[in-house]
Structure 1
Amino acid sequence: MDDEVRERVEREVEKHALLNAVKHESDADVGAIMGPLMGENPDFRPHGGEIPGVAGPIVSEVNALSHEARRDRIAELAPDELAEIEAEDEEDEWDLPALPNAEGVEEVRMRCAPNPNGPWHVGHARMPAVIGTYRERYDGWFCVRFDDTDPETKRPDLDAYDDILDDVEYLGFEPDAVYRASDRVETYYEHARELIELGGAYTCSCSGETFSDLKNDGEACPHREKDVATVQEEFEAMVAGEYDSGEMVLRVKTDIDHKNPALRDFVAFRMIDTPHPRDVASEYRCWPMLDFQSGIDDQLVGVTHIIRGIDLQDSAKKQRFVYDYFDWEYPEVVHWGHVQLDAYDVPMSTSSIKELIDAGDLDGWDDPRAPTLASLRRRGIRGDAITDAMIGLGTSTSNVDLAMSTIYANNRELIDDGSDRYFFVRDGTEIPLGGSPPAEANPPLHPDHEDRGDRAIPVGDAVLVEPADVPDREASVWLKGLGCFQYTRDTLQYTDESIDVVREGDVDVIHWAPADENVSLQLRTMGGDVFGHAEPGVAALDPDDTVQFVRVGFARIDRHDDEETVAYFSHP
């Protein structure tokens, strides 16, 4: 590590140690700052083994300061980051920190900018949930802009456009406007031409490897000083499709000595041979890179605040170079960490899910094993339950863990009151009845709503119970809604005892289904399909009805086939 790099490391370590200490009002820790430090400064990675040794003494110095002294120092070094921390502390009834400088703008305008390369997984819900809530909080404006200018590596899925808009509505929001970047290619060309005239861009035919070597060595590309007329001519040839893929790009002139090599003369336009799947865009071969396209669109639609992942900090820095050329004011930016989801074996990745579907390992995007919004929707999870869980994560720059149990708890509050109760027996064991039990059981539809009435379940000569509920010899059980029975000589003998035997704690309470009149039911769950039998009243339920299968959990009725009913398990 040379002296120049060491000085930069020391400055950045001090900043991150102060931020960590001020944010948590406690001493900083070398391990805790390494992630943000390396994420914000990727060029430090070759020195990763040396940095902890440099950081240790600096962190100790920070920890020796008072909280007030730490705050004063970080106000000098990183006032924007300090403002973000303080904004996070100002949580109010919206359960979100105030947006930076939101009170100083005429209208808060935000965008949700998905790439429509497939339906949304659960993590995607965070952006519309938070942006939609901010729109409501500030009486502002937000759009959905499909950033679909990469027809090759992130090829758009034509169905995903409508699927994503449906998901935004499912989560409880309606955008004020919808844009498709592939409709706006000519607009990007116009701004590229203007940038060229301003001397801010040049055409480059270096190979990727050659330019990478130049960039990393801090050397200028030999094409950097082309005259404007030549750049204009070659860019028009790009627009006309006269170059092959990889043969020519348009680069934004930045700072060839910039401390971060990733920001040195980045690509704004490239040639792509793969046609765009949308007919309206299929003839274009010269496509803008996301950082250029997104930056132009944010300005043109008046975006005032951007929320993006902390791993995209370089995007803001790249776009600021373009904004400086055009003399535009850059929006306020909030960076946040990634959402990490528990409870799933399938990766929360659009490409990974698609591969599993194509391989036949998942039935589709709404397979209950898939961590997608389509899956949660089919399982009967309300969009509000997801939105509330996402809002609860806040906008921290740290990666955050989302427990599915949080979504389930939210959903339970939303559906419990409206979900009638029914019996469903998994992999049932048939046991004969004796002792003249009632011919019909009449448990309530809902224990908290007597006005809804009772269910009528024919009893017959035998019942089905779950294998784990088969009682020991001579033991008694209470069949819910029916009465007390003693298990004698492989038969459940009706004893006509009162509910007091249950209250005294000597008798287990179990659910059941009639062996003769029942409904074959397939319950689709995250762990695989479960088969069993339900009480006959389930056959009269409508698709989309949510129910609680007693002692099993909540479920959404999906459909009634000729041979069986299919339901999707929601949660316990």
Structure 2
Amino acid sequence: MDQELRERIEREAEKHALMNAVKHDGEADVGAIMGPLMGENPEFRPHGDEIPGIAAPIAGRVNDLGSEERHERLANLAPDLLEELEADEEEDEHVLPDLPNAEEYDEIRMRCAPNPNGPWHLGHARMPAVIGTYKERYDGSMLCRFDDTDPETKRPDLDAYDAILDAIEYLGFEADEVIRASDRVETYYEYARGLIEKDGAYTCTCPAETFSELKNSGEACPHREKGVEESMDEFEAMVDGEYDAGEIVLRVRTDITHKNPALRDWVAFRMIDRPHPREEAAEYRCWPMLDFQSGVDDHLTGITHIVRGIDLQDSAKRQRFLYEYFGWEYPEVIHWGHVQIDAYDVKMSTSRIKELIETGELDGWDDPRAPTIASVRRRGIHGEALTEAMIELGTSTTDVDLAMSTVYAKNRERIDDGSDRYFLVRDGKRIDLSGDGPDAAEPPRHPDHEERGTREIPVEDAVLVEPVDLPGEGERIWLKGLGCVRYSDEGFAFTGDDIDAVREGGVDVIHWVPEEGSVPVRLRTMDGDSEGRAEPEFADTEADEMVQFERIGFARVDEHADVESVAYFAHP
């Protein structure tokens, strides 16, 4: 690479590092600037392997600047970019679209309707984030209704009820009312009887395969024309538990020739032999299907607007038959696409995560490798950051992608100011230290807060550094807070150079820890655990405190034990 190209890369890297730091009011992230740096300068791409090494020290120098200095430097270097950033800050008051026909209702009332078959994965956060935001905008109310009427295929997890309510609170909201569908079975029976009396439902003992064949061909089953009294008697026998699973169902009478077979005489109640895990509901064997239960509850609880997945369009259509029988007005419906989240190897599925926990491949729901709310919470990511990222996805009917980098950027805005800095060296290599240098380093606790003072890192005969940071034989390196050293096969030797070696001589700055007195740390990450050692004062941090390991990223302190301290990596 010739010198002219290198200088151009350095200028562009500084511009993007400044833009990244100013945008997030924090430190520039090398990974975040690589995309725009390479995208705007395709001629850099043949040198893709070399550019991170050029950009990293530049980002480090940007991070050493104060907030005002960064703004001034960006204004001089790229005033148009600074104007764009300032314009972006003047966002619309509302990210989400207005609710349809909201003005026609005295109160906006929405519901979050989780199935408590396990704690929430990250995709579940979208519903309470959006509903809670609408609740605040319209001064409405949010109902949390646990749709737990399937004690077999989506069997409720007794711990999930409280875990889900806790997750809603973590996201920044609180339900105005909480109900459990399994407490309301008698209510569903009451409306089933009313539907039978209206000749809107009938009992059917056709085997499932037989009815499916008839339905798909638009033919009625032989039970469709039975009288109201006979269906009522058989339904009461269902309620009394006189049938086994699969023997009989109650069907809603629709249009057996409807163009959409999924809407033809759908099942409202079925028999389940396995008792419900909640003691209060364990006696029931006749359970409503979700479309019936949810449809009845939405009306009885006064729901005005429903948000549901685009794949559930048929549910709304099935429920409209129910509403027509009872003369009810159907709520407004917003259908949206699925949300996909990057950065995880584990599938975002409650059943899959549960399986991995049971087999020991994950430590639990809060394992940093799990795409769950419990996991990001333990990593120190604020619920408001996740909520803000979710509502920015809007309510489009198309599938949307959420980049975790967006969540990280929003979280960085919340934690950067309060996170003191520390050195952590992973898989450190011991290097002897010689020459005339200081006995201790005194780097700042936070580069933007001089009033917090410095931290003292005493050093004697050797330091630990990350192997990837070692310079070539005979080259200089700057041990941050300590000084300039030259590397040889005998170790590091102080050179006596001042900071101009970094500013003008292109000497890279690295972090380090003393061999003596450093603290053993296990850093738990999405890629697995890594072992390292932190500077001595890290042992004085409190559990749940957020810190930034310089040149690594933010982390939440989990615990300090005799053997080691444990921290959970949040993000760069």
Partner of 1:407: 407
| 2: CA distance, partners of 1:184 / 1:308 | 22
Deviation at 1:225, TM superposition (A): 1.3
1:322-355 deviations in Å (ceiling 9; x for gaps):
0000000000000000001111110000001111
1:156-206 deviations in Å (ceiling 9; x for gaps):
000000000000000000010001000000000000011111110000000
Deviation at 1:562, TM superposition (A): 1.3
Partner of 2:76: none
Q: Which amino acid aligns with 1:550?
A: E
CA distance change for structure 1 residues 489 and 225 in 2, over 3 Å: closer, same or farther? closer
Q: Which amino acid aligns with 1:280?
A: E
| 2: CA distance, partners of 1:96 / 1:319 | 26
Structure-to-structure mapping, 1:138-177, within 5 angstroms: 138-177=138-177
Partner of 2:306: 306
1:219-245 deviations in Å (ceiling 9; x for gaps):
111111111111111100000000010
1:384-436 deviations in Å (ceiling 9; x for gaps):
11000000100000000111111011111111111110000010000111113
| 2: CA distance, partners of 1:505 / 1:105 | 68
- SS of the aligned residue for 1:387 comes to helix
The answer to whether the aligner puts 1:266 opposite 2:266 as a matched pair is yes
Deviation at 1:471, TM superposition (A): 1.9
1:120-174 deviations in Å (ceiling 9; x for gaps):
0000000000000000010001111000000000000000000000000000000
Deviation at 1:490, TM superposition (A): 2.0
Deviation at 1:550, TM superposition (A): 0.3
1:244-298 deviations in Å (ceiling 9; x for gaps):
1010110000011110001000000000001000000000000000000000000
The answer to whether the aligner puts 1:490 opposite 2:490 as a matched pair is yes
Structure-to-structure mapping, 1:438-477, within 5 angstroms: 438-477=438-477
**Worse-matched range after superposition: 443-452 or 466-475:** 466-475
Structure-to-structure mapping, 1:114-133, within 5 angstroms: 114-133=114-133
CA distance change for structure 1 residues 92 and 435 in 2, over 3 Å: closer, same or farther? closer
Partner of 2:555: 555
1:503-552 deviations in Å (ceiling 9; x for gaps):
10331100000001100000011111110100011111111101110000
Aligned residue pairs total: 482
- SS of the aligned residue for 1:542 comes to coil
Partner of 2:244: 244
Partner of 2:234: 234
- SS of the aligned residue for 1:492 comes to strand
* Alignment TM-score, normalising by the size of structure 2: 0.84
Deviation at 1:383, TM superposition (A): 0.3
1:78-135 deviations in Å (ceiling 9; x for gaps):
xxxxxxxxxxxxx951200011001111100000000000010000000000000000
Deviation at 1:360, TM superposition (A): 1.1
| 1: CA distance, partners of 2:198 / 2:536 | 76
Partner of 2:424: 424
Partner of 1:190: 190
1:440-462 deviations in Å (ceiling 9; x for gaps):
11100000000111001111211
| 1: CA distance, partners of 2:181 / 2:536 | 53
Structure-to-structure mapping, 1:313-328, within 5 angstroms: 313-328=313-328
Q: Show structure 1 runs of 4+ deviating over 6 A.
A: none
Partner of 1:8: none
Partner of 1:20: none
- SS of the aligned residue for 2:230 comes to helix
| 2: CA distance, partners of 1:467 / 1:166 | 42
**Worse-matched range after superposition: 278-287 or 432-441:** 432-441
| 1: CA distance, partners of 2:354 / 2:192 | 35
| 1: CA distance, partners of 2:352 / 2:506 | 51
Structure-to-structure mapping, 1:516-555, within 5 angstroms: 516-555=516-555
| 2: CA distance, partners of 1:431 / 1:567 | 25
Partner of 2:386: 386
Q: Which amino acid aligns with 1:141?
A: S
Q: Which amino acid aligns with 1:267?
A: V
Partner of 1:297: 297
Structure-to-structure mapping, 1:76-155, within 5 angstroms: 92-155=92-155
Runs of 5+ unmatched residues, structure 2: 1-90
| 2: CA distance, partners of 1:548 / 1:164 | 30
The answer to whether the aligner puts 1:398 opposite 2:383 as a matched pair is no
Q: Which amino acid aligns with 2:293?
A: Q
| 2: CA distance, partners of 1:107 / 1:196 | 32
| 2: CA distance, partners of 1:549 / 1:506 | 23
| 2: CA distance, partners of 1:488 / 1:163 | 55
Deviation at 1:486, TM superposition (A): 1.4
CA distance change for structure 1 residues 200 and 503 in 2, over 3 Å: closer, same or farther? same
| Sequence identity percentage | 72
Q: Which amino acid aligns with 2:112?
A: C
| 1: CA distance, partners of 2:427 / 2:148 | 48
| 1: CA distance, partners of 2:151 / 2:231 | 25
The answer to whether the aligner puts 1:279 opposite 2:279 as a matched pair is yes
Q: Which amino acid aligns with 2:282?
A: S
| 1: CA distance, partners of 2:225 / 2:490 | 93
Q: Which amino acid aligns with 1:307?
A: V
Partner of 1:24: none
| 1: CA distance, partners of 2:298 / 2:108 | 13
Q: Which amino acid aligns with 1:238?
A: M
| 1: CA distance, partners of 2:413 / 2:506 | 32
Q: Which amino acid aligns with 2:503?
A: R
1:470-495 deviations in Å (ceiling 9; x for gaps):
12222111110111111234221112
| 2: CA distance, partners of 1:489 / 1:371 | 45
Structure-to-structure mapping, 1:190-229, within 5 angstroms: 190-229=190-229
| 2: CA distance, partners of 1:395 / 1:471 | 51
| 1: CA distance, partners of 2:244 / 2:439 | 80
Q: Which amino acid aligns with 1:126?
A: R
1:288-324 deviations in Å (ceiling 9; x for gaps):
0000000000000000000000000000000000000
| 2: CA distance, partners of 1:489 / 1:172 | 55
1:58-91 deviations in Å (ceiling 9; x for gaps):
xxxxxxxxxxxxxxxxxxxxxxxxxxxxxxxxx9
| 2: CA distance, partners of 1:414 / 1:451 | 20
**Worse-matched range after superposition: 92-101 or 444-453:** 92-101
Runs of 5+ unmatched residues, structure 1: 1-90
- SS of the aligned residue for 1:554 comes to strand
